[in-house]
Structures are given as structure tokens and as C-alpha cells.
Amino acid sequence: MRSVLRSIIRPLVPQQSRSKISFTLPPKSMRFCTGEWQDDAYYFASAIREVHRLKTLCSLSEDSKFLDIGSGQGRMAIGLQAVFPGLRSYLGLDVHAPSVDWCNRHLARPNFQFRHVNYWNDRYNPQGRPPDRLPVRDAAVDIAFLYSVFTHMRLRDIEQYLGEVARVLASGGWCFLTIYAEEWSRPEDENPTDYLSELGAHTGALHHVVIDRKAFEGLCVRSGLSVARFMYRSEDVTKQSAYLLSKTSQ
């Protein structure tokens, strides 16, 4: 399997980085997303595509200071280690302790660190405390990345996280995130009946939280972030939408 995976992956990775690729992928039982992520080659390729997307949208480079909020099992870190093994700094934060433990065992490097934040989330950490200040210094981050994080949050918690993103972003920094954002009749809706029914049934708390675009973008503005780009249902499989936010000049 490793030789087959290597033949698929090598063309996706810059030649100068190929000798440094780590093929340690999280166990399939820990890959929380759609079924496609169960395939090793698809999972790795999705991480590489994410890196290249951020190179285009956010000028991601080896000199970037990167914050991965909701780092999960390290998909983004794996892609970054393949393309930018000498990345200036990466910090992955997640409320799900087993995922952080796995990343610390298999993916931690001097410039790649992972940390558990014991914040409440009814889906992934129901015994945690209310979210508060992230363990990151002010203006310390060039790029903040939140993939499928706000899809599992209500507005009150989203507002807290947006404020923290604005605090930690450096001048000229970017935030890329995905969310179920729609022109909606209510500010938020948890597991609405028949929403994207092709993805299957909503299973459990905060599975699919739909946020009204006006409500979300209003929170962005109040948090000190401006919408640079909105990409409606940009994610092929999950149909999540993506936002590119910039820090508003003070």
C-alpha cells in the first residue's frame, strides 16, 4: 500500500520536499468527515490541495505563521509538512483531546505543535468549559484556518472565536473558514430538516448548523474582520461555503 500511495502522492508534492514526506495518516476510525476521507490517497491529496488553495488565496509560504483552529487529526498539518516542511510555525488547536494526542504522537515537530483547548462543544467536547481566550499572543498569526469548525457551532460561540481570530491575526493576515451559510429565515438553525439531504441524515448534536449570511457577516464586522471573498458551496462533497476574511485596519 505504501508504494502505491507514494506513486499517487509524489506528483502532488514539490520535488525538493519529496524526501521529507511523512506517510503517517490518522486511522480511518478517526477521520471525521464524509466517506471519501476513508481513502488514504484521497485524504492526502485533499491536504495538498488545501495548501495550494491557501497559497493562492492567502499567500501562504514557508515563512508563514499558521494557526489551525479545529486541527482535528492533522490533515492540514500533513499537507503543510509535505509542501512546506520548513514552515516558520504551525499551531493546531482542537477541543477533541484524542485527536490532539494522536497528532502529538505522530505529527509534532519543533515547528509543528498541537494543543488541546478544553472548550465546550456539544458534539466533540460536551464536558468542556465555555470558549475564552485562545493560547496565542496578539497579532502573532499570518493565517488562521478553520475548516468545518463553524459548521458545528451556534452563533454565540462563533462570535467568541471570530473575536479571537481578529485578536491573533497580524496586520495583513488572513482567515480562511468554511461554514453552512445561506440566505436563511432565522439567524441559525441546528440540523434543519431536509437541508442537503443528499449528504444523509443529521446525526446528533450540532451535526449541520446553518447560519444566515447576514447574521454571520454582521458578526465578522463587529469582530474587526472584513469579508474579502465569499465562495458559495465551494466544497465539492460537503457543500459548505468558504469565506476569506481580512483583519480590518484599526
pLDDT tens digits, residue range 23-32?
688 887 778 7
What does pTM read for this prediction?
A: 0.90
Amino acid identity for residue 11 in this structure = P
What separation in angstroms does the CA of 139 have from each of 92, 151, 165, 239, 250? 17, 26, 9, 32, 13
Res. 2 pLDDT band, cuts 50 70 90: very low
Res. 198 pLDDT band, cuts 50 70 90: confident
Cross-strand partners of 231: 242
User: pLDDT tens, 87-100?
Assistant: 999 999 999 999 99
Rg of the chain over all Cα atoms, to the nearest angstrom: 17
Q: Provide the pLDDT for residue 69.
A: 98
Cell 506513486 sits on residue: 7
- Bridge-based pairing state of the strands 141-146 and 169-182: parallel
Buried b (16+ CB within 10 A) or exposed e, 63-89: ebbbbbbbbbbbbbbbbbbbbbbebeb
CB-based burial of residue 177 (10 Å sphere; 0-12 exposed, 13-18 middle, 19+ buried)? buried
Say yes or no to pLDDT of 1 above 50. no
Q: Provide the pLDDT for residue 14.
A: 56
Say yes or no to pLDDT of 228 above 80. yes
Q: Domains of the chain (ranges plus CATH)?
A: 2-14+32-247 (3.40.50.150)
- Percent of the chain's residues with pLDDT above 90: 71
Q: Cα dihedral angle (13, 114, 38, 32), rounded to 10 degrees?
A: -140
Q: Provide the pLDDT for residue 33.
A: 66
Query: DSSP string spanning 68-118?
Result: EET-TTSHHHHHHHHH-TT-SEEEEEES-HHHHHHHHHHT-BTTEEEEE--
Tell me which of 180 and 24 has the higher pLDDT: 180
Res. 39 pLDDT band, cuts 50 70 90: confident
Q: Provide the pLDDT for residue 22.
A: 47
Please state, rounded to an integer, the average pLDDT across all residues of the chain. Answer: 89
